[in-house]
């Protein structure tokens, strides 16, 4: 049974969750990311069909969808690795541009630079952005402290465990203080224990830094655990089928009946068979 705080579609767009209201102060700066009519064809293959939604400043949005629904294409459009056939993505009202805006991406595959130490990996994006050295130092120190990487700072990624490597990548993304942080199934290859651990870590970083996050996953439980709002994608040509607001207090519990209800609801919606 869907509960009352499962507000869908139009309602969801307007109704901010209670935690959001606390975070927000000025209503006009509410919308951070605006996706308008995003459409993508690869030749004649219609992958994305007229996707529109908004993300509020500091919001944590999860995107779920059936296998092969074009989630990765969707992300690659958001980061401007591909350019859309039609429609556009706006950040603070401006067409998104990686050179101007601060985008950060945590990829599914391990993506630490193997020839750089942990610390230099964390510095990488900041140095590309040509930030002042003292700003870089300060941010990197903060992330190292937050993730407890003090002892590992001079190690190389291949000397670390897979989960530590992924933590560095997550740290590198948060260190950018991105306008928009995109995560593409970052825990796809990890066992349950590590996933729980890293999920909590991302939540902690997000709460402390107030970053706007779009988190793509195929794991519905993960989505319900982390998201303030879940976007459910349809099969190809992909569009946003439904939005679900998750208004549960944190830390969330997997066995909470409300949690289970939302999970079941999303699972039901995602079924394409």
Partner 1 sequence: MTQPPSTARLSEAERVALVKRQKKRDKRTATALSVLGILGFLLLWQAIAASGLLSERFLASPLEIVGLFFVKLVDPSPDGAVLGVNILSSLTVALTGFGLAIVIGIPLGLLMGWYRAFDSFMRPVFEIIRPIPPVSWIPLTIVWLGIDLKAKAFIVFFAAFVPCLINAYTGIRQTNPVLINVAKTCGASNFTIFWKVGCPSAMTMVFAGIRVALGNSWATLVAAEMLAADSGLGYMIIMGRQFARADIVILGIAVIGVIGTLFVALLNVVENRVLGWKKQ
Residue numbers at the binding site for partner 1 (CB under 8 A): 79-81, 97-101, 103-105, 107, 109-111, 113-117, 124-125, 128-129, 156, 158-159, 176
Give me the helix-helix angle, 192-209 and 162-175, nearest 10°.
20
Residue whose CB is less far from partner 1, 97 or 191 = 97
Residue whose CB is less far from partner 1, 105 or 215 = 105
Query: What ranges make up the beta strands (E) of 43-96?
Result: 45-56, 60-64, 86-91, 94-95
Smallest gap from Cβ 244 to partner 1, in A, equals: 28
Tokens 């705080």: give the residue. 5
Smallest gap from Cβ 108 to partner 1, in A, equals: 8
Smallest gap from Cβ 264 to partner 1, in A, equals: 35
Residue whose CB is less far from partner 1, 44 or 99 = 99
Is residue 140 within a helix (H) or strand (E), and if so which, with residue range? Answer: helix 133-147
Residue whose CB is less far from partner 1, 102 or 239 = 102
Smallest gap from Cβ 70 to partner 1, in A, equals: 17
Tokens 């002892």: give the residue. 151
Smallest gap from Cβ 267 to partner 1, in A, equals: 30
Cβ–Cβ < 8 Å for 104, 97:
no
Residue whose CB is less far from partner 1, 12 or 173 = 173
Residues 6 or more apart in contact with residue 71 via CB below 8 angstroms: 63, 65, 184, 216, 218, 233, 238
For 32, the token pair is: 């951070």
């Amino acid at each position: 049974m869907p509960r009352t705080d499962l507000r869908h579609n139009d309602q969801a767009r307007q109704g901010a969750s209670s935690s959001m209201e606390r975070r927000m102060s000025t209503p006009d700066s509410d919308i951070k990311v605006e996706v308008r009519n995003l459409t993508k064809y690869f030749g004649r293959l219609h992958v994305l069909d007229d996707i529109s939604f908004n993300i509020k400043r500091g919001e944590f949005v999860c995107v779920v969808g059936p296998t092969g629904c074009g989630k990765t294409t969707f992300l690659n459009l958001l980061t401007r690795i591909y350019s859309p056939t039609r429609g556009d993505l706006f950040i603070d009202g401006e067409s998104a541009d990686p050179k101007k805006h601060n985008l950060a991406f945590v990829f599914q595959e391990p993506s630490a630079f193997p020839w750089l130490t942990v610390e230099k990996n964390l510095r990488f994006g900041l140095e590309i952005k040509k930030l002042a050295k003292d700003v870089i130092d300060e941010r990197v120190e903060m992330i190292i402290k937050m993730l407890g990487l003090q002892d590992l700072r001079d190690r190389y990624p291949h000397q670390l465990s897979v989960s530590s490597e992924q933590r560095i990548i997550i740290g590198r993304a948060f260190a950018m203080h991105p306008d928009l942080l995109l995560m593409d199934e970052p825990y796809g290859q990890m066992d349950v224990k590590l996933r729980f651990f890293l999920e909590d870590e991302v939540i902690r970083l997000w709460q402390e830094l107030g970053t706007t996050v779009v988190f793509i996953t195929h794991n519905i439980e993960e989505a319900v655990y982390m998201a303030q709002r879940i976007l459910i994608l349809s099969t190809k040509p992909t569009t946003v089928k439904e939005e679900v607001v998750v208004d549960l207090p944190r830390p969330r519990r997997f066995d909470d009946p409300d949690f289970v209800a939302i999970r079941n609801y999303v699972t039901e919606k995602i079924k394409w068979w």
